[in-house]
Structure formats: structure tokens, C-alpha cells
Amino acid sequence: MTLTTDRRSLLLAAAALALPRAAFAADDWRWLNAPKTWSWQDGNLACAAEPGSDFWRKTAGGPEVDSGHFFFRHQTGDFEMTAVLDGDYAADADQTGLMLRLDEKTWMKHGVEWLSGKPHVASVFTRDWSDGTAAEIASGKGVRVRLVRKGQTLVCSHALGAGEWVVGRYGYLPMGAEVELGLVVASPMGKGFGARISKVEVK
């Protein structure tokens, strides 16, 4: 992920649009910062990301933003989570993905992010300060993503179409037995966009 002070300045303004926190039951899933429009059925989420929504902390002179849309459940122990990401990405940093969170200072996300007019697979790990990595991919349509927890280690992978899994990152978070695990959608710099996350599985 290319993180410039210009982008951070724009996000600082967007932070003023921080969305109210809300929790809506859907089986055992709930929202942090629910979007106005969303639906969840049989492991498929469709929603409209709100303008100014994001998760980021401090790095590159950035603000402390905690207004992204996070649809989650509580998860205990090791796991493997997979999903297929799609969206009408339009503006820089429009994003969909998987997210694991302990609190506003400790979290990670892994998925697709639109940067300079092209899709990228991107991940951010935050231990008070955020760090991000990104790599351009051929298509942002139907991208499969996977997050595996093994003890205190998280393994981020992606695959295009029916292709093989590609490990993009190993990361660490100081996790207890239980975490918040789910789906993230955000539009930090744009006007919002339609996001679709399907085939969500946790095992």
C-alpha cells in the first residue's frame, strides 16, 4: 500500500465523518459501524460502503480512524477463514477484505484495495501504529482470500479465480484465545461503493 502524507491528509478530513457505532444481530454476527444499506444471507454479504469510512492509526502522519464497516463474530482458538471479494471499486483505497480485531489499537485486515486505478491485494497490521503492504493483481473481481491463525501467527493468502493460494504475508498480533473475526469494507477517499463478499466460511 502506498501511504502518502497527501492521502493521510485527506483521511484526516474524512475522519470527521466517523460513523456511529452500532450492533445489529444476524445469527451470531454483528456490526461495528454498520453501513446504511446491507444484507447478509447464507454466508454472503452485500453492502454500500459509506464515504470517509476507514481503519488506520498514526503512520505516515495519519489520523486515528476507526470508522470502517466491520461485520464480525467472536472466534476462539486457531481457525481458517475464507471468502470471495468483489466490489464496484472506484476511488483510491476503496477496499474489501477479512479483518481480525482485539480493540481499536490492535487489529489487522487483508483483502483487495483499489490504488491508482488498479486492484491490489493489501494487508494492514496495527499494533497502535498501522503498517501496510500491497501488490498489484490482474483483476479485482472474484478474488479469493484466506486468513489462517496458528497461535500468535496470522497467515494472509489470496488466489485469483481457480488459481493456487499465494501467501502474501505472515504477521503477529498479541492475541488472547478469543478475537473478533469478520469482514471489512471501507471507502476512505471516495464517495462510497457497492461491496459484495461471498462464500464466507470459518473453520
pLDDT by residue, tens only, the chain of 203 residues = 444 444 444 343 433 334 444 444 456 999 999 999 999 999 999 999 999 999 999 999 888 999 999 999 999 999 999 999 999 999 999 999 999 999 999 999 999 999 999 999 999 999 999 999 999 999 999 999 999 999 999 999 999 999 999 999 999 999 999 999 999 999 999 999 999 999 999 99
- Residue 83 contacts residue 200 (beta carbons within 8 Å): yes
Nearest to 132 by CA among 97, 178, 179, 103: 97
3-class DSSP state for residue 68?
A: coil
- Positive or negative: CA dihedral 61, 187, 22, 127: negative
Taking only the tens place, the pLDDT of each residue in 16-43 is 334 444 444 456 999 999 999 999 999 9
Is 5-202 in CATH node 2.60.120.200? yes
